Structure 1
Amino acid sequence: MRVLFVLPGAGGGGGAHSVVQEAHGLHRLGAQVGICTTAATLDPFLTTYPEMLDGPVALHPFQSADEVADAARGYDLTVATTWRSAHLVAQVQGRLGSAAPRAGYYIQDYEPLFNIPHTPEWDESRASYTVIPDAQLFAKTRFLCDIVSANHHRPVAKVTPSIDHDTYHPGPRGVEGSRVTISAMLRPLTPRRAPHRTARILEMLVQAFPDQVEVVVFGCAQSDLDEAGVRLSPSIDNRGPLSRAGVAEVLRQSDMFLDLSDFQAFGRTGLEGMACGCVPLVPLLGGSDEYLRHWINGFRVDTRSDAEIMAAVAAYVGLRPSARERMRRAAIATALDYTIDKAAYSEFELFSEILA
């Protein structure tokens, strides 16, 4: 089995994490795997994923569709991973004709929701699900399978999600204190991740629980916050942009992680937090119900409601330490079910059916 993922960009998001780690999982299952990524973003891509440098997964930097087509000649299956790459794979299919490999589309999110309706980007992102007529679409949550099928009348296969347990795992937490550490990610350049809502809630928390809560944020430089008009009080610890290892360390030292996005197709950081022993609060809208059980291993709330968010956090902060520990252990136990090898095997089986 020879599989080429087309993954433009510098990486760093949850979808790119999935592709890179599961490509390595497929290699461990005996597949020959490559990743095509844009030459212009190669340096930051390798900074984020140093395992791609001279690793077992082949790296094919490209500047044009012709270069992707040249790389694809050596593979049995070419897999798009974003709406732009779906159009690129369609071009490759056209260039190679009958010599083209089979095609797939690993859907990481419902990307029409990222764009303003009836703009060219919205039209192109919607068209990505049908631009390759014979492509096998697949996704890691039932939410994504259902929303694509309902809107585009294409069957979408379900594969298993994964997280990297070598990076995201429990660890020493220091001396148990009376204060609850709450962390959150701030990304002003991604509006659907609700940076202004997140900052507003965090300020409400430090005012409501000045002696009970410590707040830590990460995800962007102070200059990005300034440009977006996001202001944080000095009582909030901003760690700035972090590597995957840095994020994992923050999550290990946190009692609770807040993802106050409008929706999450999967909610990777919430599940990574669970693997680190951190209880997440995630959006009700999306695919987090695949792993999160409200009040058992985390919280699912309507993030459009400040009152609902604050009530859930207040309830958690008010728990006895033993009750918080029960939720923490339930979170860890849940995350153990989502391994790279299990996810890669679900893709291996699907690809075997496609190629058969």
Structure 2
Amino acid sequence: MLENLPITLPSYQLEDTDVVQHQPTVDIIICVHNALAEVQRCLDSVHQYTTSPYNLIIIDDGSEMETLRYLRHFATLHPLLLLRNSTAHGYTRAANQGLQIAQSPYVVLLNSDTVVSPTWLDRLIICAESAAKIGMVGPLSNTASWQSIPDIETNGDWATNPLPTDMTVSQMAARVAAHSARLYPRLPFLNGFCLLIKRQLIKAIGYFDEIAFPAGYGEENDYCIRARQAGWELAVADDVYIYHSQSKSYSHERRKQLAEQGMQILIDKHGQSVIDEGVKICRYSQVLQGIRHRAKLLVERWNFIAQAQYYWRGKRVIFILPVMEIGGGANIILAEARAMLTMGIEVYLLNFLHHQVKFERCYPQLDIPVIYAATEVEIPQLCHNFDAVIATLHNSVEWIAPLAQLPHPPVIAYYIQDFEPYFYVEKPTHYRWFWQSAWLRRRLASYYFRWVTGFRQAWVSYLQIPQMVRFTKTDWNKTEIETQVKQPCTVIGASCHIDLFMPRLERIAHKKIRISAMIRPSSSRRGALRTMQVLRDIQQQFAEQVEIILFGAREDDPQFLALPRDFNYTNLGICLPEQLALLFNQIDIFVDFSNFQAMGLTAMEAMACGVAVIVPNQGGSQSFAVHQHNALVIDTTSYYQCYTALSTLITDDQQRMLLMNQASQDMVHFYPEKVAYRILDCLF
């Protein structure tokens, strides 16, 4: 069975209001050796952004007179303990001086060349207290070896990742926090530029090894190894960003020399294999790689938010979303609506009162206001004072059509996520046995009537309001509308909720390759029968190699029960988005054997989590999936191609891993802010 691990939802606020101020006292130790300009920036940021209770301990390790004068003056303005070494003892001994004085439940060792950000200390402690075994915590930074974002290396050396000239440290930290999933990834090594350490750990393993590492450069790695050997875990607070400017206390050449010496001492003390294994985990952590990939786009995402705030802040937008249960279309709209909230847009959803109970059960933590209408007739009145009203399903166009007759109508738009007449193309021939009785004939006649009515309503929806703004996700959908209905349509692009669907767990080698598929038997174009046939035959062929996990249909659904089920599988039923994000972190392959997909959201979500996927070559999947680059794109109407493609991913470990890695990297570009901006641009 899959592990029942919790999912932490990300925050969407750029300014956090839910960060709880820490209660335990913290001793903050800063060792100083010259580099006055960096020291001033560091101490100013600590004074400005650190919440009480804390004690500040400064160890002046033989600084020159200019730095000493500044520290003494600073000490007259702020409560702190200042200790002075008349000659430099080296970082490790200076740090131990502070650790031996500190008595609080938590200690922070903070380099004097750092700049901290708002709520930094509260967040570090929240991470530390999230699990009893966490003994040390470090933040993300621009240059902190494995904790660096977005890059860890440049030209064979550690990356420095300078901030854009127009961005402050606090602004960068706010972006990081706003999009963090608070995964708190565990690492074998933490960079010593900023370390939060629990008092219990210090009592358990003692202080830094100042004999082996008197000048620093290796002492924190040694301490990390000792901590882990004693049963402690080391975590990265992935919602904290602290700037590290690389101290001027030593030249670049001197730092490099000290680092090489420290590494050799570390190897002599603990063995090459221990170091190599730890470095491998740090370098190839899927969770950290996912964080780094997303960090590359933080500035770009914020630019969309800032521009939208400038142009459209205060606009009022409502989506007509008449849904009861979880669906891909609704999930997309919710993600993009949340992005609009960060842009200063007043976003609302409109649903029906008789949907409310099921809708709120499916989306229990919904952070977008919902207006519930008793009937369709109420909808125009409820929407008339919005700047834009957006239909999301063909029948909702008719409900908002009266708004077009107002003297000053709102912008009326249709968010087209599929070519909906295709929903009604397949005639219900499988109901021929209905002709056996008059009652069944009447039922079938009624079914045909609804089918014909639905087809006509879907077709007319694109034409009903001449001035209506039409936009869609993919070029395929745009082509269908413009070719068949002769109406213009704008492509806003594919997107998925990349802050939820991301690598959340370190993938471990399971005994069997885990294959998953979404089964939707209510629509024959979803290929449920073919999917189950392929999975059954795969399970029979590779019984000892594969584990099959289904979702999307309840086990007691009569249409699901009618499918071939004579093979071993686990059915998770209807899954919340948070549950899917967890599932996709524990599988290897996701298959979508639909006849076609207007976009293919579920495959995108799986790819964003680092899953190898197979998708149809008909429809809009190719807006994000590139065959044999980040996915397999095949003719899914062919049983042979479906079976062959899946067999290949099972037997070819190298190709599967290449697709998984590339998919995780590529999907971060499909973030919702870009599409939300394009929607607003279409509307206004």
Aligned to 2:420: 111
Aligned to 2:348: 34
Aligned to 1:80: 391
Corresponding position: 1:209 with 2:523 = no
Distance 1:82 1:88 in 2: 10
Distance 2:559 2:391 in 1: 35
Corresponding position: 1:293 with 2:626 = yes
Provide closer, same or farther for how the CA distance between residues 232 and 225 of structure 1 changes in structure 2, counting only shifts above 3 A: farther
Distance 1:64 1:92 in 2: 16
Q: CA deviation at 1:78?
A: 0.8
The range that moved more, 30-39 or 270-279, is 30-39
Q: CA deviation at 1:225?
A: 4.9
Q: How does 1:129-278 map to 2 (within 5 A)?
A: 129-225=462-558, 228-278=561-611
Q: Name the aligned partner's letter for residue 347 of structure 2.
A: V
Provide closer, same or farther for how the CA distance between residues 226 and 151 of structure 1 changes in structure 2, counting only shifts above 3 A: closer
Residues 532 and 565 in structure 2, CA contact (< 8 A), matched pair in contact too: yes
Q: CA deviation at 1:173?
A: 4.7
The range that moved more, 293-302 or 174-183, is 174-183
Distance 2:346 2:503 in 1: 32
Which SS does the other structure have where 2:533 is aligned?
helix
Q: Name the aligned partner's letter for residue 683 of structure 2.
A: F
Bigger radius of gyration: 2
Which SS does the other structure have where 1:98 is aligned?
coil
Aligned to 2:407: 98
Distance 1:235 1:65 in 2: 45
Which SS does the other structure have where 2:454 is aligned?
helix
Aligned to 1:44: 358
Q: CA deviation at 1:64?
A: 2.4
Residues 321 and 330 in structure 2, CA contact (< 8 A), matched pair in contact too: yes
Uncovered stretches (5+) of structure 1, i.e. residues with no partner: none
Provide closer, same or farther for how the CA distance between residues 262 and 351 of structure 1 changes in structure 2, counting only shifts above 3 A: same
Residues 258 and 282 in structure 1, CA contact (< 8 A), matched pair in contact too: yes
Distance 2:655 2:463 in 1: 48
Residues 68 and 92 in structure 1, CA contact (< 8 A), matched pair in contact too: no
Uncovered stretches (5+) of structure 2, i.e. residues with no partner: 1-314, 428-450
Corresponding position: 1:24 with 2:338 = yes
Q: CA deviation at 1:331?
A: 0.4
Distance 1:5 1:172 in 2: 34
Residues 536 and 567 in structure 2, CA contact (< 8 A), matched pair in contact too: no
The range that moved more, 291-300 or 118-127, is 118-127
Corresponding position: 1:345 with 2:656 = no
Distance 1:332 1:206 in 2: 27
Distance 2:528 2:377 in 1: 39
Residues 518 and 592 in structure 2, CA contact (< 8 A), matched pair in contact too: yes
Which residue of 661, 666, 677 maps to 1:334? Answer: 666
Q: Deviations along 1:13-53, whole A, 9 cap, x unmatched?
A: 1111111221111121111111111111112212222343x
The range that moved more, 240-249 or 107-116, is 240-249
The range that moved more, 37-46 or 225-234, is 225-234
Distance 1:99 1:197 in 2: 51
The range that moved more, 221-230 or 200-209, is 221-230
Distance 2:331 2:507 in 1: 29
Aligned to 2:432: none
Scaled by the length of structure 2, what TM-score is found?
0.49
Distance 1:270 1:249 in 2: 14
Q: Deviations along 1:246-280, whole A, 9 cap, x unmatched?
A: 11222111111011111100000000000111111
Q: CA deviation at 1:292?
A: 0.6
Q: CA deviation at 1:213?
A: 1.5
Corresponding position: 1:64 with 2:375 = yes
Aligned to 2:111: none
Aligned to 1:7: 321
Aligned to 2:246: none
Which SS does the other structure have where 1:33 is aligned?
strand
Distance 1:279 1:186 in 2: 18
Distance 1:257 1:174 in 2: 15
Residues 220 and 240 in structure 1, CA contact (< 8 A), matched pair in contact too: yes
Distance 1:267 1:334 in 2: 15
Distance 1:349 1:269 in 2: 26
Distance 1:39 1:233 in 2: 41
The range that moved more, 121-130 or 219-228, is 219-228
Q: Name the aligned partner's letter for residue 410 of structure 2.
A: P
Distance 2:542 2:629 in 1: 23
Q: What percent identity do the matched residue pairs reach?
A: 27
The range that moved more, 125-134 or 240-249, is 240-249
Provide closer, same or farther for how the CA distance between residues 310 and 19 of structure 1 changes in structure 2, counting only shifts above 3 A: same
Q: CA deviation at 1:159?
A: 0.6
Aligned length: 346
Distance 1:232 1:319 in 2: 27
Which SS does the other structure have where 2:516 is aligned?
strand
Q: Name the aligned partner's letter for residue 80 of structure 1.
A: A
Q: Name the aligned partner's letter for residue 180 of structure 1.
A: I
Residues 318 and 350 in structure 2, CA contact (< 8 A), matched pair in contact too: yes
Residues 149 and 155 in structure 1, CA contact (< 8 A), matched pair in contact too: yes
Q: Name the aligned partner's letter for residue 498 of structure 2.
A: H
Q: Name the aligned partner's letter for residue 349 of structure 1.
A: D
Residues 612 and 657 in structure 2, CA contact (< 8 A), matched pair in contact too: no
Distance 1:41 1:186 in 2: 23
Aligned to 2:219: none
Distance 1:211 1:279 in 2: 20
Scaled by the length of structure 1, what TM-score is found?
0.92
Q: CA deviation at 1:98?
A: 1.6
Higher relative contact order (CA 8 A, sep 6+): 1
Q: CA deviation at 1:122?
A: 0.5
Q: CA deviation at 1:99?
A: 3.5
Distance 1:348 1:92 in 2: 19
Which SS does the other structure have where 2:669 is aligned?
coil
Q: Deviations along 1:112-156, whole A, 9 cap, x unmatched?
A: 011147811101111110011110100011111110111111110
Which SS does the other structure have where 1:336 is aligned?
helix
Which SS does the other structure have where 1:30 is aligned?
coil
Provide closer, same or farther for how the CA distance between residues 71 and 33 of structure 1 changes in structure 2, counting only shifts above 3 A: same
